[in-house]
Structure 1
Amino acid sequence: MHRFAAICVIPAFALIPLAAAADVIRVDSRITDVTVYPEGAKVTRVAAYSVPAGEHRLRLLDLPDTALLDMVRAKVEGARMGSVTMREDFVPPRGDQDSDVVKAARAEVERAEDALRGKQDEAAALRLARDAAETRIGFLKQLGQGETLDGVSAETLRDMARMVGEETLAARQAVLEAEAKARLVDREIDDLQQALDEARQALAALETGGDDYNLVEVSVSAEAATEGVLSVTYFTRDAGWAAVNDAYLSLGDAPGLRLDRGAMIWQGSGENWDDVALTLSTSEPSGQFEPSEVHPWRRRIEEPFQPVLKRSLAMDMAEAPMAAPEPMIEEARVMSFHGLIFNYAYPKPVSLASGADGVRIALGALDFAPEIKAVAAPLWDSTAFLTAGFTNGSGELLLPTQATQLFLEGEYVGSMATDQVAAGAEARLPFGAIDGLQVSRVVTRNEGDTGILSKSNEEKETARIEVENLTGRAWPVRVLDRVPYSEQEDLVITWQARPTPSVTDVDDKKGVLAWDFDIAPGASRQIELSHRIQWPQDMELR
């Protein structure tokens, strides 16, 4: 249950007293509109009503227990609205709210259960008959044993033996017949059990809504008999949506990049959304919507602390190295609110069962002119990878995703999470390895003292990088590598590279270098990168 907030702002109309004779009129509502946020949803229910003149209370028993009651808002057309009462405990029974489809599905379950029980009873009766026949056989086997046949004539013994044989044969035939019929009935039972399971599954698909509901009563007054519409809007936290995109890259003389944007929606509100007008919003009412507070910063001075000359665990930890961290598709229409919030309104009604369905809708496709580049990191990889860079000139915010599927010439390459891309910003997507664009990196290293008098240590390293194009086309290539950097005066690092890198400190990452060049089919390029590190003799390099 969701309780009211500790402090509620009560509208003025909620203080208007109801007439003692106000009658309660039950109204049934349906969900017409839903706006889904990345976390949470706003639901609108509409109910038609008809009231005579006077004071009345319109009672709704349709809100699920996931509705946040302190955020319920009501609107009345056709009468004057008074107070709004909400209750989550001691709610009157709703009565029979099942649709004809649900009733038919429940009746089918009951029919299947009756048929299954009837066949199970038939199978039990056949097995009882088999057990009775086996009991007769046991009796006939014992007949004639012991002293009861002493003095019986030979003719009587022959008659008795004939009778025992005939009765035993008949009993065995009865056993076989009962077992054969039971096996047939068992197969029918299996079929009936499957039919019952399917009927129960069909009923469960229709009954995904919850059983616990809240009460909302809206007081209205009318000078004459009137008809009107009551609208109730409320929020639930048990819903959300996330962007899911498909990126298609085509090569050739004029490479193209198409981004098919979509959204995956879920909800567990306890009520089914049937044929609702659906809008997706990038607004995040459940997140931070106001600036953080900046508190005063008091500084103070003290006598310096005299540390104990003892190696501590904190010192060990501080010096420890840290680990390096196609067909036509209905599309939603987008509306921007000053570029801050984007709403996507889907053009057709959508149904989404509570706790059961996940629905994907299209948010529209965008086409970009990509910058094709093969990117290689010889430090880790033996091949270059195909990438497509683009500038978001759509005027819209490209939303972050947990799953953007990547396709090269229509073939699936992989899936990755992507960050949001603002309008006018640049981004780059990978589209798999280029096996024929091979890279290698060979390292030689020299460590040791430079001399007794210098009292310093030194480390030298040279990396020879080669890029070889074994494909049948030319590629624009970017090779990424690195040299160490220092922020300590006593730790001196120098480096050299031939050829000179096109970019240093790539993406503001210190020491990361990039070489950009074109490589023709069958050609190869070499890069030599070396660095030298020097530090005092009494220090250790980390």
Structure 2
Amino acid sequence: MRTSILLPLIKVTVLEDRALVERSGTVTLPPGPCRLVVDGLPAVAVDRSLQAKLTGGMVTQASLRRSMRAVLPEALREHQSELARRAFEREQVLARAQAEVRRLEAKHGLLETARRDILRAISERTGAGEADPAKWKEQLATVRQEQTAADDQLRHARRELGRLERQHIQESRDVLSRTEVPEPKLDVRAELDVSHAAGGEATLTLSYLVPCAAWRPAYRAVLGLAEAASSVKLECEAVVWQNTGEPWKDVTLAFSTARPTLGATPPRLTEDWLSLREKTSREKQVVDVSMREESLQETGEAGTTKAADALPGMDDGGEAVTLSAPHKATVPSDGEAHRVALFAFTSPATSELVACPEQSPLVHRVAKFDNTGPAVLLAGPVDLVRSNGYVGRAQLKFAGRGERVKLGFGSEDSLRVSRQVDVGEEVARITGRRTRTQKVKLFVSNMGAKPAALAVEERMPVSEVEAVEVALLKDATKPAPTKVSDEGIVRFELSVPPRSRQTVAFGFTVASAAKVAGI
């Protein structure tokens, strides 16, 4: 026995570059084995990913079958909508208008040929001495009258044809392309061999993978400033694209960072040989060092830097994360971006004005808050909003639950920091010890009418070898820094009165022995 059914789509789990679709419904089965055919599957369904489950029974075989559907033009015309029928009638009117234009153009060509024949006859008869001016005048007047009438008719016909093309036909085609999906030519169905001992009603669940679907996280952060306490409201959304051929209407959506194909091919193992050798004479006498930029390899507030050979995709901290939408959603199969709300939370925040003059003369409003949401924060773009509206877009790094998050909410136009650098170097004549001195002057300006509390951050090198010493010049540093971190970040906390200017001096030395090379 063979039964054809339709299973409604109930859940979709969107992965990074594909989606897992789940259909489920109640079917009535006879006792014993039978064959079920599930129609209405998308053409891009992956055959080997098909899985079927039957409550109270067993599925012995499941496969996908594809077949081309032969649809006759008469059948299509019979089931056309009212809009399609009106468009067909307008197509007929357009065809008649085009035929009329062609007829008038042919008539115009015949009249032009007749006029040329008359003129040729006049020249030939005049040369032969058989002139008949009255007859020729009548013939030319008749042809000219017919040409004038034909030209007027042709001009009106062309104007009418242009009006039909602009107002009627093009409009109907645009409306049809946006409102009516063309008839599919490929039928995809799942054929299942099932067995149920008692028969009756049972729940059939069908799942399969489809390509042409993807998602990425997106955020919206709203900073609320208050004298007592500030807060940040963070809204997380999933931006979904899908063009699988089947609309996801009122389904439960889940979003996962899992990569089913990751690790499918084992890595190639190569031999790694270690050997010992004596140092060369130059290596015994010279210490090679170099200056390098290094990012802090932490999550949350400090941010992360992805390795150059890392796989493209979402940053989930190395562990697969699944986020579920709280409400059912609809995502049409149009390839456009659609936003689905995931969660939102409000967290107490600390807000301050921070300037990094080495990077930019602007002063930025920076807020720090804890991730008190129900899930981790994946890396993604975040729209920044303050009380005066949208201020820009930034990149949110991966942050775990309870971890500190740092976001910048635009610049303060009334504050500026200008930077000057003076570098000098001395070499001791006897020992050859080199001392490189760098002095920085920062000019902080407040052009506003309100006082501001400003934090200025500069940096100095950090030595990893004993042959190189880095020291802060306390006498040349005014005012005294509030904090100097182990990573070499020097922080000054200033109070800037309205319409004022301050100067911050900062300096350090890098001393290296004579045997040090590279700096």
TM bracket, shorter-chain basis? 0.7 to 0.9
Q: How does 1:318-467 map to 2 (within 5 A)?
A: 341-353=321-333, 355-401=334-380, 403-450=381-428, 452-467=429-444
- What is the one-letter code of the residue matched to 1:415? R
> 1:435: how far off?
2.0
Range with bigger deviation, 474-483 or 175-184: 175-184
Q: What secondary structure does 2:440 align onto?
A: strand
Could you tell me which of 206, 212, 221 is aligned with 1:232? Answer: 206
Q: What secondary structure does 1:125 align onto?
A: helix
> Is it true that 1:169 corresponds to 2:145 in the alignment?
yes
Partner of 2:450: 473
> 1:374: how far off?
0.5
Q: How does 1:138-287 map to 2 (within 5 A)?
A: 138-147=116-125, 150=128, 152=130, 156-202=132-178, 206-207=181-182, 214-221=188-195, 226=200, 230-254=204-228, 255-269=230-244, 271-282=245-256, 284-286=258-260
TM-score normalised to the size of structure 2?
0.79
> Is it true that 1:132 corresponds to 2:132 in the alignment?
no
- What is the one-letter code of the residue matched to 1:370? A
Q: Is the 8 A contact 1:122 1:185 kept in 2?
A: no
Identify if the C-alpha distance between structure 1 residues 518 and 202 changes in structure 2 by more than 3 Å, giving closer, same or farther. Answer: same
- What is the one-letter code of the residue matched to 2:394? M
Identify if the C-alpha distance between structure 1 residues 60 and 384 changes in structure 2 by more than 3 Å, giving closer, same or farther. Answer: same
Partner of 2:301: none
How far apart in 1 are the matches of 2:259 and 2:105? 66
Q: What secondary structure does 1:145 align onto?
A: helix
- What is the one-letter code of the residue matched to 2:327? P
- What is the one-letter code of the residue matched to 1:220? V
TM-score normalised to the size of structure 1?
0.76
> 1:25: how far off?
2.9
Q: Deviations over 1:428-479 (max 9, x none)?
A: 21111112222222222322434x2232333222112232333233333221
How far apart in 2 are the matches of 1:420 and 1:228? 44
Identify if the C-alpha distance between structure 1 residues 431 and 101 changes in structure 2 by more than 3 Å, giving closer, same or farther. Answer: farther
How far apart in 2 are the matches of 1:76 and 1:52? 14
- What is the one-letter code of the residue matched to 1:251? L
> 1:57: how far off?
0.9
Identify if the C-alpha distance between structure 1 residues 174 and 448 changes in structure 2 by more than 3 Å, giving closer, same or farther. Answer: same
> 1:418: how far off?
0.7
Q: What secondary structure does 2:367 align onto?
A: strand
Q: Is the 8 A contact 2:379 2:398 kept in 1?
A: yes
Partner of 1:500: 480
Identify if the C-alpha distance between structure 1 residues 125 and 147 changes in structure 2 by more than 3 Å, giving closer, same or farther. Answer: closer
Identify if the C-alpha distance between structure 1 residues 453 and 321 changes in structure 2 by more than 3 Å, giving closer, same or farther. Answer: closer
How far apart in 2 are the matches of 1:413 and 1:125? 64
Q: How many pairs align?
A: 482
Q: Is the 8 A contact 1:116 1:192 kept in 2?
A: no
Could you tell me which of 531, 534, 539 is aligned with 2:508? Answer: 531
How far apart in 2 are the matches of 1:427 and 1:223? 58
Q: What secondary structure does 2:173 align onto?
A: helix
How far apart in 1 are the matches of 2:424 and 2:275? 48
> 1:233: how far off?
1.3
> Is it true that 1:121 corresponds to 2:96 in the alignment?
no
Q: Is the 8 A contact 1:38 1:283 kept in 2?
A: yes
Partner of 1:69: 47
Identify if the C-alpha distance between structure 1 residues 151 and 297 changes in structure 2 by more than 3 Å, giving closer, same or farther. Answer: closer
Could you say what the CA RMSD is over the residues aligned between the two structures, in angstroms? Answer: 4.0
Q: Deviations over 1:371-412 (max 9, x none)?
A: 1100111223223111111122334323321x2111222422
Q: Is the 8 A contact 1:126 1:179 kept in 2?
A: no
Q: Is the 8 A contact 1:482 1:513 kept in 2?
A: yes
Partner of 2:13: 35
- What is the one-letter code of the residue matched to 1:477? L
Partner of 1:490: 467
